[in-house]
Amino acid sequence: MQGCAYIDGAFVAPEDAKISIFDWGFLHSDATYDVAHVWQGRFFRLDDHLDRFERSLKALRLDPGVTREEMRSVMHECVARAGLRDAYVEVLCTRGMPTPGSRDPRSCTNRFMAFAIPFVWIADPDKQRRGVNLIVSDAQRIPAQSVDPRIKNYHWLDFVSGLFKAYDRGGETVVLPDAQGHVTEGPGFNVFAVFSRPGAAPLVVTPDAGVLEGVSRRTAIELARAAGYETQERPLAADELRIADEVFLTSTGGGVIAIAQVDGQPVGGRAPGAFGPVTTQLQHGYWALHADPRYSEAVRPLPGDRA
């Protein structure tokens, strides 16, 4: 795979970046991570991703052993060494290994790693052109009281179970409900519903609990409010999602992506590939921000390449 990884203080090929099977990141999913992306040679909202990564590290009592500026430099150098213009860039920190025989996390030496690989789409461009078929699962999301979803983590067994059930029903991806029947999030994305209102601007709603507070989610909220749409972060019932006029998801792996069907029914009665005006406007606005220096920064050249 084209790319570059950083592990144990060295830049290596992605296939050479390995951890021990005894690392608690592997054995216990005791780790956190964050993913930023590079588009046409520019990182998008990198500071927001680093802010969230640092909050997650603090919440899990993980010490990556590097400063924020060192993290930023590693991310830039991974992309530059890989020679990528469009990239998926992940930073992660695992608990590491404890002293032999210990189950005390305080005895572990935490490990910081990073990698850059070609851009990863959560839905490939063909799927985006026709819209994604979303299934509302009966598999519930892990309760926030058990695993805080605001800390980006690898606890995905609920998502995996939901995906298999979605595939069995002819779907392409899944959103999980909570115990009260409110939708939360899907594997790697947040979800939004749009409701038309006669004589008033459309209403945009996204769940406010049980979700990772995505950077793409934040971008969509900011764009919607700037466009004059009332935008609410509140509980969103699964039945509301099924009758929404527009549904879209947001993810670092694709930005704003239209949902064509929910539980096999066309959203807003539209044909595949015919999306609502709010989704279309937010899609265009999202990608336009990538050239704005307030939101993006150019990938730094390697030290030897600088004039």
Give me the number of domains the chain comprises. 2
Whether the per-residue pLDDT at 288 is higher than 50: the answer is: yes
Q: Are residues 114 and 242 in the same domain?
A: no
Residue 305 lies in a domain: no
Q: Are residues 106 and 169 in the same domain?
A: no
Whether the per-residue pLDDT at 304 is higher than 90: the answer is: no
| pLDDT at site 306 | 55
Residue 12 lies in a domain: yes
Please state the length of the chain: 307
Q: Are residues 130 and 266 in the same domain?
A: yes
Q: Are residues 60 and 174 in the same domain?
A: no
Three-state DSSP class for residue 245: coil
Q: Are residues 246 and 217 in the same domain?
A: yes
DSSP states of 169-182: TT-SEEE-B-TTSB
Burial class (CB in 10 A: 0-12, 13-18, 19+), 251: buried
How far is the C-alpha of 17 from the C-alpha of 20, rounded, in Å? 11
Q: Are residues 225 and 257 in the same domain?
A: yes
Three-state DSSP class for residue 94: strand
Burial class (CB in 10 A: 0-12, 13-18, 19+), 257: buried
Q: Are residues 153 and 214 in the same domain?
A: yes
- Paired with 297 in beta bridges are 43
Q: Are residues 64 and 142 in the same domain?
A: no
- Which of 72, 103, 118 is where one domain is finished? 118
Please give the residue range of the domain that contains residue 108.
Answer: 4-118
| Segment (H or E) for 138 | none
Say what the pTM is. Answer: 0.94
CATH of the domain at 79: 3.30.470.10
Per-residue pLDDT band at 271 (split at 50, 70, 90): confident
CATH of the domain at 270: 3.20.10.10
